[in-house]
Amino acid sequence: MSQNKLWPHALSLFRVIVGALFACHGAATVFGVLGGAAGSGAASPVGAWPGWWAALIQLVGGTLVAVGLGTRAAALLCSGSMAYAYFSVHQGKAVLPIQNGGEAAVMFCWTFLLIALAGPGEWALDALVAHRRTTPGRVVQAADPASESVTA
């Protein structure tokens, strides 16, 4: 296989791993699992700004990116949340990410931006949805988007 043929598969695997890691960060903070919020062993108080809301974006956005559903929008939201985290939490401590503890925020920010631009790859629910919409012989009723009829 050439590199071009491997790219959609590598992108899919990359997206799944990054999304799952991001979702784990969110689950740790929202539910107090996997070591809890910032390794404290506890969940963040519900609705606490900005930590709980950021964790909710991490959990939901990371899960959507991992399964490849609404990938570009979810990845863009995740990227923006990490940019916000970097500039509001880390940047004030020092100039460089290595000095202010913001390496993960910077890496996630740029990684999700790449995913938003590159798309989900082949192994994604987005690809299944797109395939279903373009399958020849399949007619979707315009009057009721919930009803579908298949013609031969």
Structure tokens at 13: 């695997």
Mean pLDDT of the residues in the chain: 87
Assigned domain for 90 exists = yes
Assigned domain for 106 exists = yes
pLDDT digits (tens, 9 = 90+) for 33-70: 888 776 677 788 898 888 899 999 999 999 999 999 99
Q: How many domains are there within the chain? A: 1
Assigned domain for 76 exists = yes
Q: What's the whole-model pTM score?
A: 0.81
Assigned domain for 150 exists = no
Assigned domain for 152 exists = no
- Helical ranges in the chain per DSSP H: 3-31, 51-67, 71-85, 97-100, 103-118, 125-134
Q: Which domain, by its residues, includes 13? A: 3-135
Q: Which residues pair with 150 in a beta bridge?
A: 138
Q: Residue 152 above 50 pLDDT?
A: no
